[in-house]
Structure 1
Amino acid sequence: MHNLTTVTEFLLTRFSDVWEFRVLHAMLFLLMYLATLMGNLLIVTVITFNWKLHTPMYFFIRNLSVLDMCYISVTVPKACVIFLLDNRAISMAGCAAQIFLVVAFATVELLFLTIMAHDRYVAICQPLHYSVIMNSQACVQMTLVSVLSGLAFSGFHTGSTFWLPFCQSNMVHQFFCDIPSLLKLSCSATLNNEILIFISSVVIDGGCLAFIIMSYTYIFSTVLKFPTRGEQGKAFSTCVPHILVMTIFLSSAAAVYMKPTSSSPTIQDMINAVFYSIVPPFLNPIIYSLRNKQIKESVKRIIRRNLYSGIR
């Protein structure tokens, strides 16, 4: 391969070439994928048809669930195919589309989680102003800004990546197309791309992380003033898992995207990719929704209603 015109496809990488391990990996990915789809779809259904849950917090939870179903669908189905079949090829257009969607969904996910942290801050620290600050118009505007920002950010980095010529190899050392893996395959200088990725990661990821830390700092300081330990425990049990998901999401993404392209690809890069592309959509329904008392009660009512209808 001497220039970009000769590259018509890339070859993705499996975790193992041993058939038994490939089947195991495919089964694990498929189970996580189905659990993610079922959990998020259940949340979307419950929130949509229960008017009592039509509040700003549940509005963003529903948006996050829809986003997570799209996010995990970009990588896992194709990964299961390359695990089980001998065909590991992905076209240039398919690779570009995968990169665009992964980066866009990951960016919007980060922005949604930041907005949700702000929502909890307003609800706990400024409860009297909550209905004014988090009104329906503001919620829709924040959602649109997040989506448009994610699309613009992704479009810029996808375009700058595929502007490069690829001539070293067509072997992508990852189970899906991502920017760091493709930069390793370019036969031209990628320093400018690396600098742009580093700066944008620091600005967006660092800015969101700082905002989230600041929000939860105010939340914790307010919670500690609650009169009873029960109220404190309830608030902490809600906030701590959110911080855990954010830590996993950002640290694993930073380990992949802020690693120098000169570094040799390792299996650790593929494992890190799992933690920022698959684990958050899988955990979000459990942490943000299925532990929520109102959503659990709504789910129970739906199950009882369906069982009663089936008996009749």
Structure 2
Amino acid sequence: MAEKNLTLVTEFLLIAFTECPEWGLPLFLLFLFIYLVTLLGNMGMIILICIDCRLQTPMYFLLRHLSFMDICYSSVTVPQMLAVLLAHGAVLSYTRCAAQFFLFTFFGSIDCYLLALMAYDRYVAVCQPLLYVTIMTQKACWGFVTGAYVAGLCSALVRTVSAFTLSFCATNKIDFIFCDLPPLLKLTCGDSYTQEVVIIVFAIFVIPACMVVILVSYLFIIMAILRIPSAGGRAKTFSTCASHLTAVSLFFGTLIFMYLRDNSGQSSEKDRVVSVFYTTVIPMLNPLIYSLRNKEVKEALRKILSRVKLS
């Protein structure tokens, strides 16, 4: 029966925002603006880190990869959103939907792992400063990042295979603007217990596991900060972690609301708002957060701008 249902579903109809066609053009322009700012901001951050010698540290090495992931993460979904808004709906083939889901999960998982690695980097810098150069070597950083990519690939493969071996009902209208897990689960019919368990287990492995690393790291960081005698020293040490804490709170807060909750009785309108936030707004905010709240980045940016003015 499952195989029969799967053969019937050859495409998905994306229908989000079609009930308010007058909002199509304003939302299209808004998302296009956000996407362009995301591309420029994250590409600017990558270039700045590459050309400024003061930013050649493990933290900025991880931040460079985070910016690259934000570009990829946003590029998987936002062009699809723009197409849906411009055409007041869109038809997506089964294969394209699966590919989009895989890439979205792949880049999103790597984002989670990179944020956890950045928390560990801050832990070593604050709690074991004398061993920082020994622990966070270039070889170790490349190993951490490679591990994040491999773990993200494994997670994306398992979740995509599990999601797209579900039995979908004949009604294949997705009240979303891209292929995400919550709307796909609402389309399932028949026995999907095994696949849903696998999906949830991997969601638990990625999101809470990364959160445990972040929370434990910051627990030790806070304990180390409290042992600093001067208030100025405590504030200076904590300021080095403020940008990362802000990015973590935004990213994991929306993911927890979206995935680790009971979907019963939840409005698709609320789901759409949250999904738009973590797929479009957060990738745009990350370079702003790290540039506006980071003294080293601001100094490097001022140095580049002064060179441009002099030339």
TM-score (norm 2): 0.92
Q: CA deviation at 1:16?
A: 5.1
Read off the aligned partner of 1:218 and give its amino acid letter: F
Structure 2 equivalent of residue 217 of structure 1: 219
Structure 1 equivalent of residue 51 of structure 2: 49
Q: d(CA) in 2 for partners of 1:52 and 1:240? A: 19
Read off the aligned partner of 2:143 and give its amino acid letter: Q
Show structure 1 runs of 5+ residues with no match: none
Comparing 295-304 and 95-104, the one that deviates more: 295-304
C-alpha change, 1:209 and 1:251, in structure 2 (3 Å) is same
Q: d(CA) in 1 for partners of 2:88 and 2:217? A: 48
Contact 2:116 2:214 in 1 (8 A): yes
Q: d(CA) in 1 for partners of 2:89 and 2:281? A: 25
Q: d(CA) in 2 for partners of 1:95 and 1:257? A: 19
After superposition, what is the alpha-carbon deviation per residue over 1:209-246, rounded to whole angstroms, capped at 9, x for unaligned? Answer: 11111111111121222233233223334434433432
Contact 1:15 1:267 in 2 (8 A): no
- 1:72 is aligned, of 65, 71, 74, to 74
Structure 2 equivalent of residue 248 of structure 1: 250
Say which SS state the counterpart of residue 172 (structure 2) adopts: coil
Say which SS state the counterpart of residue 221 (structure 1) adopts: helix
Q: d(CA) in 2 for partners of 1:145 and 1:207? A: 15
After superposition, what is the alpha-carbon deviation per residue over 1:72-92, rounded to whole angstroms, capped at 9, x for unaligned? Answer: 111111101111213411111
Q: d(CA) in 2 for partners of 1:252 and 1:293? A: 27
Contact 2:171 2:187 in 1 (8 A): yes
Q: CA deviation at 1:203?
A: 2.8
C-alpha change, 1:43 and 1:268, in structure 2 (3 Å) is same
After superposition, what is the alpha-carbon deviation per residue over 1:246-274, rounded to whole angstroms, capped at 9, x for unaligned? Answer: 23322322332234565565211111212
Q: d(CA) in 1 for partners of 2:190 and 2:256? A: 24
Structure 1 equivalent of residue 99 of structure 2: 97
Structure 2 equivalent of residue 231 of structure 1: 233
Q: CA deviation at 1:281?
A: 1.2
Q: d(CA) in 1 for partners of 2:71 and 2:292? A: 16
Contact 1:99 1:177 in 2 (8 A): yes
Q: CA deviation at 1:280?
A: 2.5
1:25-174 paired onto structure 2 within 5 Å:
25-174=27-176
Say which SS state the counterpart of residue 11 (structure 1) adopts: strand
Q: d(CA) in 1 for partners of 2:136 and 2:11? A: 47
Comparing 84-93 and 250-259, the one that deviates more: 250-259
Q: CA deviation at 1:173?
A: 1.9
Structure 1 equivalent of residue 196 of structure 2: 194
Contact 2:18 2:88 in 1 (8 A): no
Contact 2:74 2:283 in 1 (8 A): yes
Contact 2:163 2:195 in 1 (8 A): yes
Contact 1:40 1:285 in 2 (8 A): yes
Read off the aligned partner of 1:183 and give its amino acid letter: L
Q: d(CA) in 2 for partners of 1:151 and 1:57? A: 23
Identity of matched residues, %: 40
- 1:303 is aligned, of 302, 305, 309, to 305
Contact 1:197 1:257 in 2 (8 A): no
Contact 2:246 2:289 in 1 (8 A): no
Say which SS state the counterpart of residue 310 (structure 2) adopts: helix
Q: d(CA) in 2 for partners of 1:232 and 1:32? A: 36
C-alpha change, 1:259 and 1:225, in structure 2 (3 Å) is closer
Q: CA deviation at 1:180?
A: 2.3
Q: d(CA) in 2 for partners of 1:143 and 1:241? A: 20
Contact 1:249 1:275 in 2 (8 A): no
Q: CA deviation at 1:132?
A: 0.6
Number of residue equivalences: 308
